[in-house]
Amino acid sequence: MRSKPTLYYFVGFPGAGKTTAANHIHELTGAVHLWADKERQKLYPVPTHSESESRELYSKLNALTEQLLEQGESVIFDTNFNHKADRDLMRAIAEKHHAEAKLIWLTTPIETAKTRALHNAHRDRNGYLVVMSEDEFNSLSSKLEPVEESEQPIRIDGSDNTLNELKLKLGL
């Protein structure tokens, strides 16, 4: 019998290590890795990150997540779920498809995350056209809604985001 699928989703500052964690989880579990930044670039060769663009992107990714979970596949939804309502939606999608939901909270110190996010390597790895500005970082970071204990977050310090730590914390 196939094990219950799992939906892995993330919260943390830009540059906190979410994609690194997602890559580690993929390596450990073989779960399908849906990386929103890559999917945005496929849909929009010159992304604007406008509200309508984001709505269309996430509508498609949410539907794909549901389809994969329904097929019994585990999914790594690699984007930042800063808003509690979005995290609640992920839990509801997992529940609807009888999947386990695991919220990975990258608790990387803000200065470490900022240094990474404002660096050329972050732009290049994520395929962005420009390096994130300090104002953009501050704006995005200020929108992060607090994670509640009821969300049962798995805390990972992304400043030392190792495969072994994830393996232990995820019980793999």
Q: Which of 135, 134, 77, 122 is nearest to 102 (CA)?
A: 77
Q: What domains can you pick out in the chain, each with its CATH number?
A: 6-169 (3.40.50.300)
Q: Note the pLDDT tens digit of each residue in 160-171.
A: 767 788 888 888
C-beta neighbour count of 22 within 10 angstroms: 23
Q: Note the pLDDT tens digit of each residue in 60-104.
A: 999 999 999 999 999 999 999 999 999 999 999 999 999 999 999
pTM: 0.90
Q: Note the pLDDT tens digit of each residue in 2-43.
A: 589 999 999 999 999 999 999 999 999 999 999 998 898 899
Q: How far is CA 52 from the centre of its chain?
A: 20
Name the CA dihedral angle for 73, 78, 81, 85, rounded to a multiple of 10 degrees. -20
| 156, β-bridge pairs | 106
